[in-house]
Amino acid sequence: EPEVTQTPSHQVTQMGQEVILRCVPISNHLYFYWYRQILGQKVEFLVSFYNNEISEKSEIFDDQFSVERPDGSNFTLKIRSTKLEDSAMYFCASSEALPKDTQYFGPGTRLTVL
Amino acid sequence: QKEVEQNSGPLSVPEGAIASLNCTYSDRGSQSFFWYRQYSGKSPELIMSIYSNGDKEDGRFTAQLNKASQYVSLLIRDSQPSDSATYLCAVKGNQGGKLIFGQGTELSVKP
């Protein structure tokens, strides 16, 4: 069964450093998403991506965040200068074209900012 | 502020019983509704989606949607200890694809 994959599973970084989180969505999916979940809190939407551009972003997704689909398979989330409060689980998700809008989540990357 | 509300629990049920999980949402224009299961430290795993008023059954799971009351529920029949997890209600509006999640309800099924 196709699944979303994410690397790395755990990333530890120093405050102020740049990190890139990687995702490989399900191959025939066209919509891609990043969510985050701070420990003990809700899953929060960050950004959605379709047709090689951002289709929607949340208030959390400020100038320090960016997304890219550098090739036909990978989807990345870059955090330019990490802060302590960026420590969270980051989930990538993908879905087929509408109306099949069910989003399937990857296993997540746990980001720890020291 | 579009919100999704769930009782955080924990909800404790004996093995074999029916577990009932509830969710309300504030955006009347919401079109798609999902239940995900999340084990501790893991990612959300899709259980069911529902789009129309009424009931939708899949094995031991039944999702119920009432758009007039802005209410979604999930029933788990013959609950098993392996069902112990946090259940997340997620709602998608009529514009864009983002999911808005509730806080989740922690379910504990006691043997």
Say which of A55, A102, A107 has its CB closest to residue B96.
Answer: A55
Structure confidence at residue A97 (pLDDT) = 75
Q: Which residues of B touch A89 (CB under 8 A)?
A: 43
Checking if the pLDDT of B9 tops 90, the result is: no
Which residues 21-50 of B are in CB contact (within 8 Å) with A? 32, 34, 36, 42-46, 49
Query: Which of A13-17, A70-74, B24-28, B64-68 bottoms out in mean pLDDT, i.e. has the lowest?
Result: A70-74
Rg (CA), chain B: 13
Instruction: Name the average pLDDT for chain B.
Output: 94
- The neighbour count for residue A85, using CB atoms within 10 Å, is 9
Structure confidence at residue B97 (pLDDT) = 86
| Segments in chain A below pLDDT 70 | 98-100
CA–CA dist B64, B62 (Å, integer): 7
Give me the count of residues in chain A: 114
Asked if the Cβ–Cβ distance from B104 to A42 is below 8 Å, we say yes
Using DSSP bridges, classify how beta strands A31-37 and A19-24 pair: parallel, antiparallel or unpaired.
unpaired
Which residues 63-102 of A are in CB contact (within 8 Å) with B? 89, 91, 95, 101-102
Q: Cα B22 to chain center, whole Å?
A: 7
Structure confidence at residue A2 (pLDDT) = 83
CA–CA dist A49, A23 (Å, integer): 13
Which residues 50-89 of B are in CB contact (within 8 Å) with A? 88
Structure confidence at residue A100 (pLDDT) = 62
CA–CA dist A56, A53 (Å, integer): 9
pLDDT tens digit sequence for B87-110 = 999 999 777 789 999 999 999 999
- The neighbour count for residue A11, using CB atoms within 10 Å, is 17
| DSSP letter assigned to residue A63 | T
